[in-house]
């Protein structure tokens, strides 16, 4: 009777431990799942981190979309960072280049990564960047200032409801991690 109970307990505990380990794994599985879900649905304003092919679009002269540019610095890192134009009006399908300016205000080399975000999030997939300083890390010499272009177009298939799209960049200081490597 007790032998039997011990066996039953041991088996149950083993099965429950599998659940525990499985759920620990599930927590980590949520990381790729989250990315995949954001990719598929285009939620979250995640922007492609690689350049899009320069495709010829039929320019839609009938409407205009306002594109706004925002810049910010993570943890107030010692940089100057601004867009040379705050907003422009463009026709969907036409390619434009906008310059951003960033400057290292310190006396040492700085490696920084710009992370883009687009809102509204669901418009992100129509925003095609063929050139962007955010595709790679940027290295700044001490006190160096750089003018960096972003070239993009808006896919004319953009639904009518989007009249304004905001492109925001945040510069993160990656000096420590990238110099270690």
Partner 1 sequence: MSAVVAEHDDHHDDHDHGPQKGLLRWIITTNHKDIGTLYLLFALAMFFIGGIMALVIRAELFEPGLQFVEPQFFNSMTTMHALVMVFGAVMPAFVGLANWMIPMMIGAPDMALPRMNNMSFWLLVAGVLLLASTLFMEGGAPAAGWTLYPPLVLQTGKALPFAIFSVHLLGISSIMGAINIIATIFNMRAPGMTLMKMPLFVWTWLITAFLLIAVMPVFAGAVTMLLTDRFFETSFFDAAGGGDPVLYQHIFWFFGHPEVYIMILPTFGVASTIIPVFARKPLFGYSSMVYATASIAFLSFIVWAHHMFTVGMPIAGELYFMYATMLIAIPTGVKVFNWTATMWKGSMTFETPMLFAIAFVVLFTMGGFTGLMMSIAPSDFQYHDTYFIVAHFHYVLVPSSVFILMAAGYFWLPKWTGHMYNEKIGQLHFWMSVISVNILFFPQHFLGLAGMPRRIPDYAIQFADWNMVSSIGGFIFGVSQLLFLYIVIDTIRGGTGEKVSDEVWEDAHKHGLEWTLPSPAPYHTFTTPPDVIPTEHQ
Q: Which is nearer to partner 1, 90 or 165 (CB)?
A: 165
Q: Which is nearer to partner 1, 26 or 164 (CB)?
A: 26
CB burial readout 44-58, b (16+ within 10 A) else e: bbbbeeeebeeeebe
Q: Which is nearer to partner 1, 90 or 100 (CB)?
A: 100
The phi, psi pair for 90, rounded to 5°, reads -135, 160
Separation in Å, CA 19 to CA 10, 12, 178? 14, 11, 39
Q: Is 21 in the site for partner 1 (CB under 8 A)?
A: yes
Residue 167: which of 154, 176, 177, 156 has the closest Cα?
154
The phi, psi pair for 8, rounded to 5°, reads -60, -45
Rule CB under 8 A: choose which of 48, 74, 91, 148 binds partner 1.
74
Choices 56-64, 65-73, 83-91, 116-124 (CB under 8 A): range interacting with partner 1: 116-124
Gap between the Cα atoms of 148 and 113, Å rounded: 13
The minimum distance between CB 120 and partner 1, in angstroms, equals: 9
Rule CB under 8 A: choose which of 39, 41, 66, 163 binds partner 1.
41
The minimum distance between CB 99 and partner 1, in angstroms, equals: 23
Total residues contacting partner 1 by CB under 8 A comes to 40
Q: Is 26 in the site for partner 1 (CB under 8 A)?
A: yes
Contact 74, 171 (CB under 8 A): yes
Gap between the Cα atoms of 172 and 124, Å rounded: 21
Q: Is 136 in the site for partner 1 (CB under 8 A)?
A: no
Kind of pairing between the strands at 65-73 and 164-173: parallel
Rule CB under 8 A: choose which of 12, 36, 51, 80 binds partner 1.
12
Which stretches of the chain bind partner 1, using CB under 8 A?
1-3, 5-6, 8-9, 12-13, 16-17, 19-21, 23-28, 30-31, 34, 41, 43-46, 49, 74, 113, 115, 119, 121-122, 170, 172-174, 177
């Amino acid at each position: 009777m007790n032998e039997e109970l011990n066996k039953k307990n041991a088996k149950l505990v083993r099965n429950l431990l599998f659940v525990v380990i499985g759920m620990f794994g599930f927590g980590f599985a949520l990381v790729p799942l989250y990315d995949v879900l954001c990719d598929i649905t285009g939620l979250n304003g995640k922007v492609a981190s690689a350049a899009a092919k320069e495709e010829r679009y039929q320019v839609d002269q009938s409407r205009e979309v306002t594109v706004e540019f925002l810049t910010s610095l993570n943890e107030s890192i010692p940089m100057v960072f601004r867009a040379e134009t705050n907003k422009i009006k463009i026709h969907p399908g036409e390619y434009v280049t906008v310059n951003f300016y960033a400057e290292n205000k310190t006396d040492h080399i700085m490696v920084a990564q710009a992370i883009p975000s687009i809102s509204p999030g669901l418009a992100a997939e129509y925003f095609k960047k063929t050139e962007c300083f955010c595709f790679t890390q940027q290295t700044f010499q001490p006190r160096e200032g750089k003018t960096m272009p972003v070239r993009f177009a808006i896919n004319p298939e953009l639904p009518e409801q989007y009249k304004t799209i905001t492109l925001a960049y945040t510069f993160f200081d990656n000096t420590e991690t990238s110099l270690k490597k």
